[in-house]
Every structure is written in structure tokens, then in C-alpha cells.
Amino acid sequence: MESSPTSATPAPQPVRWHISEIDFSRIDIPRIRHNQDLFYLVTSASFIETGSDMYTRNLVRHYAAYPEVAEWLQQRWEPEELQHGLALRTYVETVWPEFAWQTAFDGFFAEYGAMCTDEELEDDRTLELVARCVVETGTTTYYETLRNLATEPVLADLANRIRTDEVQHYKYFFQYFRELQASQKLSRARIAAVLYKRLAEMRESDSDVALRHVWQHRPPLFREGNFEELSQRTYQLVSSSLPIEQVIRMLLKPMDLPKRVEKWVQPPLQKLGRRLLSA
């Protein structure tokens, strides 16, 4: 029997920054305009973040029995995700104004919406929080990678702001997981199964759908090549730059392993992660 999170759950806090704080007029456009890789990374991220309200509705319904979780999703998580999308969209439209952002997004959202169903969520609410930790691990490390790859200061600042938000999202989902797990006591085997399942799904995910719709409407500046080559190059660029040590640490936390065991398994998992990412 699942129980509600306790009063120890941190209450939603005001958003940490606002899009009005970013001066998009200061973007060094010549420095980034011809960077095809960053165009695809930033634009596909803007699609995913802008579409987060649909996924939020599903999660709010899923956690209707847990008012604190539902409140945090609606009052904190969704507004921050949508702000990420708006900020990234503004950046894209400032640097590449000829890109038909809304048209491309509409195509993405039609396909993405079909993927965002209640059936995609874990039936067990505690295990769905494990899945959320996997997703937030991916977004945290994605924006850290984007920040490190950024060749333009405003983009680096924006990626860092979003990364900071995603770290806090991970902490909230993990805290809620711990509170439910305290009474439910799911086995490590079940938790590991969800971790593995969600990791296996990450490459065949919304990011691939977003990338494809960006490519279909790409501006004339980036007309060369084919989608398969672009997809592989983008994947390799991100995966080769991911902070794998951080990824493994964040993924292991829901397992609640003894410290000595966690320390022992981290190095081989890091090696395995690097090997899988380079495949």
C-alpha cells in the first residue's frame, strides 16, 4: 500500500530565475550562427521543454492521491520546464530567424503527444519516481554537456541556468521516492529493472523525435547531409562529452547501496557506460 509523502518533503520554492534576466540582444550571433551541431542541440531541446505541459498533466493525474507531489509538479516543475522552452526558443529565433520554429514544433508535438500516454508511466508510483530520476539525470547531464560545448556566452549562461533547475528537479523526485520507499520497501531488483528499462529507452526517445522534426524544417544554411548521419553525429557528440561519473552517481542513488558497495561498483559501471555510449 502506497502512502503519502510526509511533511518532511520540501515545499515548492519560488523560481530561481526569470527569462527577463537574459539579454538576448547580447548574443554573439556570428560566433554561433554557422555551428550546425549547436543549432540542432538547442532547437531539439526547445521542442522537448515546450511540450512538457502535456507530460505534466499525465503525472499530475498519476499522483492525484499525493497532493504535495501534484502541487509541486504544477506549481514548480511545469512553469520551470515551460520557461526553459521559451528561453531556448527565443535563443533559436534570435540566431536563426529563418527557421520555422512553430511549424516544426507543431509537427513534433503531434507525434510527441501520441507518445505521452498514461500507459507510459510505471503503474507503481514509487517506481515512476525512479523513472523520473533517470529522466532528470539525462536532462541534467545534457545541459551540462551543452554548457561545456557552447561557444557563445549567452547560450552557456542559459544552459547553466537550466542545468541548475534540472538538478533541483532530480532532488525533488528523489526525495519523494525516498519517502514513498520508506513505507513500501521495494526490492533493489525492481528498482534496478526500472533503471535499466528507462536507460534502454533513452536513445529511442523524445529527443530523437524532436531532432527529426528539426531536421525536416532545417534552414538552408544546414541543408547538406542526411538525417542518419546527423543523428549519429549528434549522439556521438553528446555521449562523448557526458560527465559519466556524475551520471552513474545519480543513477545509483535510488538503489540505496551500502557506501562500500557503491564505491566498489562505480568504476566498472563507469567503464561500461563509456563503452555503451561509444557503441
Encode pLDDT of 81-116 as tens digits. 999 999 999 999 999 999 999 999 999 999 988 878
Q: Is 182 a domain residue? A: yes
Cα dihedral 155, 158, 159, 164 in deg (nearest 10)? 160
Q: Is 219 a domain residue? A: yes
- The domain that contains 120 carries what CATH number? 1.10.620.20
Encode pLDDT of 48-63 as tens digits. 999 988 888 899 999 9
Give 10-residue mean pLDDT values along the chain (279 residues).
44 74 97 96 96 89 93 93 97 98 96 83 94 93 94 97 96 95 91 87 75 95 88 86 86 91 86 68
Is 225 within 8 Å of 115 (Cβ atoms)? no
Range of the domain at 91: 40-278
- Rounded Cα gap, residues 48 and 23, in angstroms: 23
Name the domain count of the chain.
1
Q: Hey, what amino acid is at 148?
A: N
pTM given for the model: 0.90
10 Å CB burial of residue 231 (0-12, 13-18, 19+) is middle
Cα–Cα distances (Å) from 59 to 6, 39, 194, 219, 256, in that order, read 19, 30, 17, 35, 24
Q: Is 255 a domain residue? A: yes
Q: Is 95 a domain residue? A: yes
Q: Is 11 a domain residue? A: no
Q: Is 198 a domain residue? A: yes
Q: Is 183 a domain residue? A: yes
